[in-house]
Amino acid sequence: MRKIRTILGTTLLALVLALLAISSFAQQTNRAEIDDKYKWNLTDIYPSDEAWRDAVNALSSELDQIETFKGTLTKSAENLLKAMKFNSNVSKEATRLYIYASMNSDLDSRDSKYNGMKQELQHLFANFGAKAAFIEPEILATDWATIDGFIKEKPELEQYRMGLENMFRTKAHSLSEGEERIMALSSTVTGTAADIYGTFRNAEMPAPKAVLTNGDTIEVTSAAYSRYRASSNREDRQRVFEAYWHNFAKFKASIGEMLNGNVKSDMFQAQARRYESSLKSALYPNNIPVDVYHSLVENVNKNLPAFHRYLEIKKRMLGVDTLKYLDLYAPVVKDVDLNYTYDEGSKLVLEALKPLGKEYTSTVKKAIDERWIDVYPTEGKVTGAYSNGAFYDGHPYILLNYNDLYDDVSTLAHELGHTMQSYFSNKNQPYPTSDYAIFVAEVASTFNEQLLFNYMVKTVKDEDVKLSLLMNWLDGFKGTLFRQTQFAEFELKIHEEAEKGNPLTGDSFSEIYDDIVKRYYGHDQNICFVDDYIDMEWAYIPHFYYNFYVYQYSTSFTASISLAEKVMSGDKKALENYMTFLSAGSSDYPIELLKAAGVDMTTAEPFEKAIAAMNKVMDEIEVILDKKGL
């Protein structure tokens, strides 16, 4: 999830970039050929670019008013309320402006028009942030008792309590007015590395070619790579892997500088605000103990034998002498093609989500029917999938790259989880607490995936299809818990190296990544052979530009397994608690919200339950394999 925040922590942009299930709907590259019902209706945000421009001009004319509040904030409850309201209204309108430009840009990253609109807004908001830099220092110049008294005097201030309390909790990391102004202005440059990476990767990076075993020559775009890595033809997988990763290696130095620039930006933010590390800087504002991060990495490394068991099952089902990294996405059940059109997949998801109640499923249907979702890949469209729930007065949006695979159905369920959390939080929370922290963002999404899996396993009768679904779940488990923790360990390591003063280059990134990936996959134990060119995979992961985001896929996944088990057992109180969680926004700290929902992430219990669930599925798979004599 990528966030740009105003002074008081209100969300300016919340994009959940979830999964790396990049689609390959290769035949449909012309957006004009796609039926409108499968495309976003962005006129819900603004009816036209002209209306957007009018809104920009209107907001611009109001921004200087922020300076009229200077020196008045702590003189009365009324003054504080006026300033908070003004800041909140600016944030809400700025968010609306930004998502319109951003999502239009995402539909065709080759079109510089909307990218230019984004840059214009970034400059505008950076200037506003500089003018508003006095707010936090001025409030912190008084004591909490005074602010608490204001809130009691003016009940309208209650909606800002959480943000104000957190401001005082993080007081040691707040700066003077002048310093805050510099920090605000710096936002125009600190995101440059991520912007360059996104533009290069999605729009300008040339695609290599590969010759398939049938003689066809293909362009190995990211979409094609995603398609052919799941091919049943091992030689084709080999050729596509080699072409794709060797192509990344040609740009190792440049992409290395991009990621190095992002790490330096994280370090700058941390050091400027007097945090002991970039990790602490990323986690402390949401009151997440760094032990949660370290424990995740340690627990995963301790449980690599369970991961290796999964790899041995994969090897057994593929019938290969040596399992290779390029085999990990290959179909393992012969003659079973889990293909679903988007319309079929939508119906499956709606059925699977019925345990969450009528309001939940009717809103999901509305999202499908009323063009909240942009479904298919087209030329220039950003890869992957995300849900953007930042349009507070409207509705969330989902970007997909749907390719008729079961993974795409699962991705749809995943993104709808994000969308529904945004929908319920926006509906039940005032704007200042409608956003939710990154730490809980992946709970609702992986919860939906779990419901879909359970529905599919219970409804299918064919043993081969069931086996395919069970393996698909394990693949998802691998991708969400082990693979994301692998990324989290890499992200932690590169920041630690930079903080020690060690240089970061494309070569050093590859060396660090190679060591981690080979350890996780048991390369030296002959569990899974990892080709040397996989040391470039770090350059493929956009999440490394989102400041310690990826670990939350893993923590959220373990939380969602625990919560889903309770809801699916028919526990009405568990369902009530879960729906309360979805509606809570940022009304409390993430750890406390999850505790109220029924899971304590400061303990090892959620992780242990997740590993137990994994072993249970592997037991079931092995029973079927033994029965089939495989």
Amino acid at 367: A
Residue 182 shares a structural domain with residue 281? no
Find the CATH number of the domain harbouring 134. 1.20.140.70
Query: Per the domain annotation, does 278 fall within a domain?
Result: yes
Residues 486 and 601 in one domain: yes
- Res 322 pLDDT > 60: yes
Q: What CATH number is associated with residue 341?
A: 1.10.1370.20
Q: Which residues of 363-374 are buried (b: 16+ CB within 10 A; e: fewer)?
A: bbeebbeebbbb
Which of 415, 489, 491, 537 is the catalytic position?
A: 415
Q: Please tell me the distance from the alpha carbon of residue 335 to that of residue 408, in angstroms, as a whole number.
A: 19
Predicted TM-score (pTM) of the model is 0.79
**Across 342-346, 407-411, 460-464, least confident range:** 460-464
In a domain, 113, yes or no: yes
Task: Specify whether 170 is located in the same domain as 318.
Answer: no
Average pLDDT for 409-416: 96
In contact, 194 and 545? CB cutoff 8 Å? yes
Helix or strand (DSSP H, E) at 387: strand 386-388
What per-residue confidence (pLDDT) applies to 17? 34
- Contacts of 467 by beta carbon, 8 Å cutoff, 6+ apart: 333, 336, 621, 624, 625
Residue 102 lies in a domain: yes
385, 415 Cβ separation under 8 angstroms: yes
* 415 counts as catalytic: yes
Same-domain check for residues 295 and 153: no
Instruction: Print the SS3 string covering 492-544.
Output: HHHHHHHHCCCCCCHHHHHHHHHHHHHHHCCHHHCCCECCHHHHHHHHHCHHH
Please say which residue of 190, 207, 234 terminates a domain.
Answer: 190
- Asked if residue 160 belongs to a domain, the reply is yes
Q: Is there a single domain that holds both residue 157 and residue 295?
A: no
pLDDT given at position 29: 65
Closest CA to 299 of 56, 14, 602, 582: 602
* pLDDT above 90: percentage of residues in the chain: 78
Same-domain pairing of 172 and 282: no
274-293 pLDDT tens trace: 999 999 999 998 899 999 99
Distance of alpha carbon 579 from alpha carbon 481, whole angstroms:
24
Q: Which residue would you say has higher pLDDT here, 60 or 336?
A: 60
Q: Identify whether residues 174 and 281 lie together within a single domain.
A: no
pLDDT at 3: 31
Q: Which domain holds residue 409?
A: 274-370+405-500+519-532+555-630
pLDDT at 439: 84
In a domain, 265, yes or no: no
- Look at residue 24 in the predicted model and tell me its pLDDT: 36
Is residue 238 domain-resident? no
Q: Is the domain of 427 the same as that of 313? A: yes
Q: How confident is the model at residue 566 (pLDDT cuts 50, 70, 90)?
A: confident
- Look at residue 340 and tell me if it is in a domain: yes
State the alpha helices, DSSP H only, in 171-289.
177-190, 192-199, 222-228, 234-250, 252-272, 278-283
How large is the average pLDDT for residues 449-466? 91
Whether residue 457 is contained in a domain is answered as yes
- 170 and 64 together in one domain: yes
Segment among 148-157, 261-270, 334-343, 357-366 with least mean pLDDT: 334-343
DSSP type of residue 31: G
pLDDT score recorded for residue 62:
94
Domains in the chain, number: 2
Q: Choose one of 157, 190, 223: the last residue of a domain.
A: 190
* One domain for residues 180 and 279: no
Residues 373 and 367: beta-carbon distance below 8 Å: yes
* DSSP per-residue codes, 525-591: GTSSB--GGGGGGGGG-GGGGSSS-THHHHHHHHHHHHHHHHHHTT-HHHHHHHHHHHT-TTSS-HH
CA atoms within a 13 Å half-sphere pointing along the CA-CB vector of 75: 8
Which of 190, 224, 239 lies at the terminal end of a domain, its last residue? 190
Return the DSSP state at 14: E
pLDDT digits (tens, 9 = 90+) for 170-194: 999 988 889 988 998 888 888 899 9
pLDDT, average across residues 242-249: 97
- Name the packing angle between helices 290-302 and 304-318 (round to 10°): 50
Nearest 5°: the CA angle 261, 204, 326 is: 85
pLDDT of 429 > 50? The answer is: yes
Q: What is the DSSP letter of 206?
A: P
Give the pLDDT score at 436: 92
The answer, yes or no, to whether residue 7 has pLDDT greater than 90, is no
Predicted confidence (pLDDT) per residue in 104-116, tens digit: 999 998 888 999 9
**Torsion (CA) 132, 133, 134, 137 in degrees, nearest 10:** 140
Q: Is 161 helix (H, G, I), strand (E, B) or coil?
A: helix
The answer on 601 and 480 residing in a single domain is: yes
How many angstroms separate the first and last alpha carbons of the chain? 42
Both tokens assigned to 578: 């879960």
**Paired residues of 5 in beta bridges:** 11
Would the pLDDT of 334 be above 80? Answer: no
Is 152 found in the same domain as 300?
no
Q: Quick check: 9 pLDDT over 60?
A: no
